[in-house]
């Protein structure tokens, strides 16, 4: 049995930091992950866009 909380954890940095987490993904891998999650276009439309 495991416990999974329902509180999302976001880092205090950028959206890129949140996607990369502690894995150290480069910006291309982060963009690929965002596209695979179908959130990339939404991120680009954010007022601050994607910080790299």
pLDDT tens by residue, 14-39: 888 888 877 888 989 999 999 999 98
Q: What are residue 19's phi and psi, to 5 degrees?
A: -70, -45
- pLDDT confidence of residue 42: 87
pTM (predicted TM-score): 0.63
- pLDDT confidence of residue 28: 92
Cα–Cα distance measured from residue 47 to residue 20, given in angstroms and rounded to the nearest whole number: 20
- Mean pLDDT over each residue of the chain, to the nearest integer: 80
The H or E element spanning position 43 is helix 40-45
- pLDDT confidence of residue 4: 72
DSSP state of 42: H
The H or E element spanning position 34 is helix 27-36
Domain borders along the chain are 15-45
């Amino acid at each position: 049995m495991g416990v999974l909380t329902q509180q999302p954890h976001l880092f205090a940095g950028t959206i890129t930091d949140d996607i990369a987490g502690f894995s150290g993904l480069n910006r291309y891998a982060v963009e690929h992950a965002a596209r695979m999650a179908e959130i990339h276009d939404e991120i680009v439309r954010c007022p601050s866009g994607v910080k790299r």
